[in-house]
Structure 1
Amino acid sequence: MSIVVTAASGQLGRLTVEALLARGVPAAGIIATSRDVTTIKDFADRGVDVRRADFAEPDTLPAAFAGADRLLLISTTTPSERVANHRRAIDAAVAAGVQLVAFTSMLRADTSTTILARTHHATEAYLCERLPSVMLRNGWYLENYTAQLPQVLQSGVLAGAAGPGRISAATRADYADAAAVVLTTDGHAGTTYELGGDHAFTLTELAAAISAASGKRIEYTDLPVDAFARLLTGVGVPAALADVLADADRAMSRDELYTDSGDLRRLIGRPTTTPAEAIAAALQV
């Protein structure tokens, strides 16, 4: 069996390749793709089949997907281009004879009101029409918060617009392990997994967890959505991305990034990483 992992140079893609290797998939049975193959040369050095694939250049896709049995379609980053890029990848997978596509969608993509969910759900619909598929509806990444720790510790403030909303976040490694399970075992076609961490939290609770781990008092400051977007642009986040992130916080305030499905824990066969564990690991780096 040959397994394609798209966007293998990205953080989730890299972790998924590593998870496949850890599950005993031979390096030669993994096809890692990227727009720039020099960024995944380390995989090639370990025997992984490295190929160039650029969803904006459909001519690159037939060779990239040739001979593949299963494919992990990792959602691309630019919302305005996402659906068109995904459709080109799905069409190429059909042409290549891929038997199963797992797509990294978004938690509650069919009911969420976020900007992000609309593009993910459109991809889901197109994929379901074309190929046997599995929807990996990933929740928020814990790394979205742990990456902010230097700034949060410096300022003493964790800012957001999520109010009292609960967030079921997990680490990228947790989601990568789930993807590896789906790609290497049978019985997942036609299934939608709502994936999130076991330990949901509010941003007030997250600020308290950072305080406990760091020994420095951190306060959560809840802002109106527009004000949070302006804060993000003020620290250098591009305006379009700032709007998407602020919109996600708005949805968090309505519990749209919360799930108690237990799907992630059951897939990976272990408890998910707790916020405290993720914070502690980030503080040690």
Structure 2
Amino acid sequence: MTILITGATGQLGRLVIDSLLERGAEPQSIVAGARDTAKASDLAARGIRVVELDYDTPATVQAAVGGADSVLLISSSAVGQRVAQHQAVIDAAKATGVAKLVYTSAPKATTSDLVLAPEHKATEELIAASGIPSVILRNNWYTENYAGSFAQATESGVLAASVGEGRVASASRRDFADAAAAVLLEDGHTGAVYELGGDVAWNFDDLAAAIAEVSGRPVAYQALSTDEHATALSEAGLDAGTVGFVTALDAGIRGGALADTDGTLARLIGRPTTPLVEGLRAIA
């Protein structure tokens, strides 16, 4: 069985490859798709075949997907361009008869009002319409997403956000990578839509306390209104588009978009998810 990983030189892609190898996959069975193949020289040194795969260049997508039995479509980081980019992979997978397409989506993508959800919803709909046997992994937040917050709060002693009492069921990126590797290698997942989150849904008081524990410095959560948050971000030099995006994300968290956890991720990976403090310790 040949497994193609798109975005293989990204943080998640590399961890998925590590997990596949740890779970017994042979290096020659893994194909690493990368826009810049020079960044994958370390993967090639491990016996993994590296191919060019640029979401914006369909010919490279078609060539990369050809011959793959399973494909992990790691969602593009190009917000606003994702649907067309994902479409290229889906079209190639359908044309070449891929047996399993695994996609990294967003929590409750088809019903969520999270600002990032629409592109994931559209991608899921394209996959369903294609008829390709698929597995949808609706990944919650990576704890690593808070690396910037960790650094800022450690320096200032304040964790400021407009999330209210909203909770986040985050897990470490490695946890989600292990889940992807599991469904790629195991039978029985085709057709599943998995809502994946950490074992504990924490609030921002918990996040502030965890940052304080790891950094050894006092940190307190400062709850802001959306307007207060927007003003603070603007005064910090962020442009209007970024301010709107950040405050919209916080509004989604405040509304519960990232709060659900039912243990599915832990069951898939066969162990508890990484606790918040340990995830932050790895960041530090």
Classify the secondary structure of the residue corresponding to 1:32. Answer: strand
Give the aligned partner of residue 152 of structure 2: 151
Counterparts of 1:24 and 1:236, CA distance in 2: 48
Displacement of 1:204 in angstroms is 1.4
Letter in structure 2 aligned against 1:133? S
Deviation by residue 1:19-78 (Cα, 9 ceiling, x = unmatched): 111111111100111110011111011110100011111111121111100000011112
Deviation by residue 1:257-282 (Cα, 9 ceiling, x = unmatched): 01122110000000000001112233
Displacement of 1:241 in angstroms is 4.6
Give the aligned partner of residue 22 of structure 1: 22
CA contact (8 A) 1:32 1:49 kept: yes
Displacement of 1:222 in angstroms is 2.0
Give the aligned partner of residue 264 of structure 2: 263
Query: How many corresponding residue pairs?
Result: 283
Distance 1:165 1:38, change over 3 A: same
| TM-score, length of structure 2 as denominator length | 0.94
Give the aligned partner of residue 127 of structure 1: 127
Give the aligned partner of residue 211 of structure 1: 212
Write the mapping of 1:122-201 to structure 2, written as runs, cut at 5 A.
122-130=122-130, 131-201=132-202
Aligned: 1:86 with 2:86: yes
Counterparts of 2:156 and 2:101, CA distance in 1: 43
Distance 1:51 1:229, change over 3 A: farther
CA contact (8 A) 2:208 2:220 kept: yes
CA contact (8 A) 2:200 2:261 kept: no
Counterparts of 1:51 and 1:236, CA distance in 2: 39
Aligned: 1:35 with 2:22: no
Counterparts of 2:159 and 2:176, CA distance in 1: 25
Give the aligned partner of residue 277 of structure 2: 276
Displacement of 1:8 in angstroms is 0.7
Larger deviation, residues 149-158 vs 237-246: 237-246
Displacement of 1:99 in angstroms is 0.8
Q: How many percent of aligned residue pairs carry the same amino acid?
A: 45
Displacement of 1:225 in angstroms is 3.0
Counterparts of 2:189 and 2:68, CA distance in 1: 17
Over the aligned positions, Cα root-mean-square deviation in angstroms equals 1.6
Structure 1, unaligned runs of 5 or more: none
Aligned: 1:225 with 2:213: no
Structure 2, unaligned runs of 5 or more: none
Displacement of 1:230 in angstroms is 5.3
Write the mapping of 1:231-250 to structure 2, written as runs, cut at 5 A.
231-232=232-233, 235=236, 240-250=241-251
Counterparts of 2:26 and 2:240, CA distance in 1: 43
Larger deviation, residues 59-68 vs 220-229: 220-229
CA contact (8 A) 1:5 1:33 kept: yes
| TM-score, length of structure 1 as denominator length | 0.94
Give the aligned partner of residue 102 of structure 1: 102
CA contact (8 A) 2:136 2:193 kept: yes
CA contact (8 A) 1:146 1:278 kept: no
CA contact (8 A) 1:116 1:244 kept: no
